[in-house]
Amino acid sequence: MAKSRVQFICQNCGSVHTRWAGKCDACGEWNTLIEEGTSGGIGAGPASTRSARKGRAVVLTSLSGDIEDAPRIASGIGELDRATGGGFVRGSALLVGGDPGIGKSTLLTQAAAALARQGHRIVYVSGEEAVAQIRLRAQRLGVADSPVELAAETNVEDILATIAEGRRPDLLILDSIQTLWTDMADSAPGTVTQVRASAQAMIRYAKSTGAAIVLVGHVTKEGQIAGPRVVEHMVDGVLYFEGEGGHHYRILRTVKNRFGPTDEIGVFEMSDKGLREVSNPSELFLGERSTKAPGAAVFAGMEGTRPVLVEIQALVAPSPLGTPRRAVVGWDSSRLSMILAVLEAHCGIRFAQHDVYLNVAGGYRISEPAADLAVAAALVSSLTGLALPADCVYFGEISLSGAVRPVAHAQQRLKEAEKLGFGQAVLPTGSGEIAGAMASRSFLPGALVDLVAKIAG
Ligand code: TYD
Ligand code: MG
The answer on whether 99 is annotated among ligand-binding residues is yes
pLDDT of residue 306: 83
Gap between the Cα atoms of 341 and 260, Å rounded: 38
Ligand 1 atom with the smallest distance to the CA of 108 is 2
Residue nearest to atom 22 of ligand 1 (CA): 274
- Asked if 393 contacts 425 with a C-beta cutoff of 8 angstroms, the reply is yes
274 lines ligand 1 (CB under 6 A): yes
Report CA dihedral (6, 7, 12, 13) to the nearest 10 degrees: -150
Distance 362 CA to ligand 2 centre (A): 24
Measured at the CA of 417, the angle between CA 413 and CA 418, to 5 degrees, comes to 120
105 lines ligand 1 (CB under 6 A): yes
Nearest-10 crossing angle of helices 333-347, 448-455: 80
Question: What are the DSSP calls for 325-346, one per residue?
Answer: -EEEESS-HHHHHHHHHHHHHH
Nearest-10 crossing angle of helices 156-164, 192-209: 20
The answer on whether 105 is annotated among ligand-binding residues is yes
Ligand 1 atom with the smallest distance to the CA of 175 is 6
141 lines ligand 1 (CB under 6 A): yes
- Asked if 212 contacts 81 with a C-beta cutoff of 8 angstroms, the reply is no
Residue nearest to atom 2 of ligand 1 (CA): 103
Mean pLDDT by 10 residues, the chain (457 residues): 68 84 87 72 50 78 57 91 92 92 94 94 94 92 93 94 90 93 87 90 94 89 60 91 80 88 86 89 75 90 87 94 92 95 95 94 86 96 94 96 95 89 92 81 93 90
pLDDT of residue 66: 52
What is the tally of helices (H) and strands (E) in the chain? 13, 22
110 lines ligand 1 (CB under 6 A): no
* Residues in a beta bridge with 151: 125
The answer on whether 100 is annotated among ligand-binding residues is yes
142 lines ligand 1 (CB under 6 A): no
Q: Which one of the ligands is nearest to 175 CA?
A: 2
pLDDT of residue 226: 55
The answer on whether 102 is annotated among ligand-binding residues is yes
139 lines ligand 1 (CB under 6 A): no
pLDDT of residue 359: 93
Distance 275 CA to ligand 2 centre (A): 14
Q: What is the pTM of this model?
A: 0.79
23 lines ligand 1 (CB under 6 A): no
Length of the chain: 457
274 vs 116, 143, 287, CA distance in Å?
18, 10, 21
The answer on whether 261 is annotated among ligand-binding residues is no
Characterize the bridge pairing of strands 306-318 and 326-329: unpaired
